[in-house]
Amino acid sequence: MSPHTQPRQRGMIGGTAATALAVERLGKIYGPGGPEAVEGTGPEFARSVSPSTGAVIGCWDVSFAVAPGEALGIIGESGSGKSTVMRCIAGDQSASAGSVNLAGVDRPGGTPADLLQLAPSDRRALRIDRLSVVYQDPAEGLDLRVSAGGNIAEPLTAAGWRHFGRIRQRAADLLSRTEVPLDRMDDPVLTYSGGMRQRVQLAKALANDPQVVLLDEPTTGLDASVAAGVLDLIRDLLEETGIAAVVVSHDFSVIEMLTRRCLVMHHGRVVEEGLTDQLLEDPQHPYSQRLVGAARG
């Protein structure tokens, strides 16, 4: 099955907000066993390891939708399954269950295509201009031996750009938008600081104006002052571009700053979901209460 990719749609369709990204009952099992392996895992059992097969349930039964222009947060402690969700959506990892739809990616006939069922090459094609990822580790999203401009040239040439001058101009525009000094654009990313590398990743992620960007702990590991600058930038970019985003973090201040709505994950499951400020104000699930309590510490 090859997807029919229609011209991208943005914003409102027929007066109601369209869905940019829809995730239904996503599940990922690392190790042996099918759905039966999931039994006996999750928050109520306080474990992610299947008692029957020993598989790690990376995530299970995760559903959410993101509207165009919306930024959705996913919070949870390390190991709760946040990155697994991102990787399954991005296609970095194969999912074990569920479905993922991206606006405008349809099957012949017009019904939404399930990304999880697409051929690997079709999934990779989506990463060129529809779905971008910013990783916690810049080495995953960038080729550190290549210059900042060259890293941005990659998605551009993949999308068919063949004019050196225009590629360079586009790279320069993106880098100035993400506040990377242009006199550094020809230096290998290896020579950049951590904060600067994240800015290059952001510029690359925006290269072909994607509909959705997945940000996995984009500021984790940066010094607080550097992280604050990058967060400010991300907030401005999301606002300016109207790109739909999923922001993953273990840090409530990041989620609070970037998102209006968020999910709380624990042992691979979503335990609570709501408006970010309300959730911070009045968490319902005991695990959320613990998280918020620790953050407010």
Partner 1 sequence: MTTIEDLLQQPATVEERKTPILDESSKREIRRACLTAVAVPGYQVPFGSREMPVARGWGSGGLQITLAVVGRDDVVKVYDQGEDGGVNAANLRRLIRSAEPVTTTTDPREADVIQTRHRVPEDVLVDGQILVLQVPVPEPLRGVERDMTELRRMHAEADYAKMWVSLYEDIVRNGIITQTTGYPCLVGGRYVIATTPIPRWDVPPLHQARFLSLFGAGREKRIYAIPPHTDVEPLTFEDVPFQVEEVVEPCRCGLIQPDEEPGAYLVELPGQTGETVWACSDTDWCARRRLEAGLLGEDAIDALEVDL
Ligand X SMILES: Nc1ncnc2c1ncn2[C@@H]1O[C@H](COP(=O)(O)OP(=O)(O)O)[C@@H](O)[C@H]1O
- Residue closer to ligand X, measured from CB, 130 or 267: 267
**CB-nearer residue toward ligand X: 93 or 284:** 93
Q: Which amino acid is at 157?
A: T
User: Least distance (Å) from ligand X to the CB of residue 54?
Assistant: 11
Residues that bind ligand X (CB under 6 A): 30, 48, 56, 58, 76, 78-84
Q: Rounded to the nearest whole angstrom, what is the least distance from the CB of residue 41 to ligand X in the complex?
A: 10
Minimum CB separation of residue 230 from ligand X in Å reads: 19
Residue 58 interacting partner from Mg ion, ligand X, partner 1, none (CB closer than 5 to 8 Å by kind): ligand X
Structure tokens, 127: 């990463």
Report 72-111 residues binding Mg ion (CB under 5 A).
83
The entry of partner 1, ligand X, Mg ion, none that residue 15 binds, CB within 5 to 8 Å by partner kind: none
Among partner 1, Mg ion, ligand X, none, partner that 281 touches (CB below 5 to 8 angstroms by kind)? none
Tell the smallest beta-carbon distance from residue 37 to ligand X (Å): 13
What is the greatest pairwise CA distance in the chain? 59
Residue closer to partner 1 (CB basis): 140 or 186: 186
Q: Closer to Mg ion at the Cβ: 75 or 115? A: 75
Query: Which conformational region is residue 206 in: left (phi greater than 0), alpha (psi within -120 to 50 degrees), or beta?
Result: alpha
- Smallest separation, CB 274 to partner 1 (Å): 41
Residue 80 interface partner, choices ligand X, partner 1, Mg ion, none, CB cut-off 5-8 Å depending on type: ligand X
146 binds, among Mg ion, ligand X, partner 1, none (CB under 5 to 8 A by kind): partner 1
Contacting residues toward partner 1, per CB under 8 A: 121, 124, 143, 146-147, 149-151, 153-155, 157-158, 162-165, 167, 186
56 binds, among partner 1, Mg ion, ligand X, none (CB under 5 to 8 A by kind): ligand X
Find the helix packing angle between 148-158 and 194-205, rounded to 10°.
20
The DSSP secondary structure of the chain, one letter per residue, reads ---EEPPP--SEETTEEPPSEEEEEEEEEESS-SGGGGTT-BGGGTB-B-TTT--EEEEEEEEEEE-TT-EEEEE--TTSSHHHHHHHHHTSS--SEEEEEETTEE-TTSSBP-GGGS-HHHHHHHHHHTEEEE-SSHHHHS-TTSBHHHHHHHHHHHTT---HHHHHHHHHHHHHHTT--GGGTTSBGGGS-HHHHHHHHHHHHTTT--SEEEEESTTTTS-HHHHHHHHHHHHHHHHHH--EEEEEES-HHHHHHH-SEEEEEETTEEEEEEEHHHHHHS--SHHHHHHHHHHH-
Residue 109 C-beta: closest distance to ligand X, Å: 34
Minimum CB–partner distance for residue 83 and partner 1 (Å): 22
**Residue 150 partner contact from partner 1, Mg ion, ligand X, none using kind-dependent CB cut-offs of 5 to 8 Å:** partner 1
Binding stretches for Mg ion (CB under 5 A)? 83
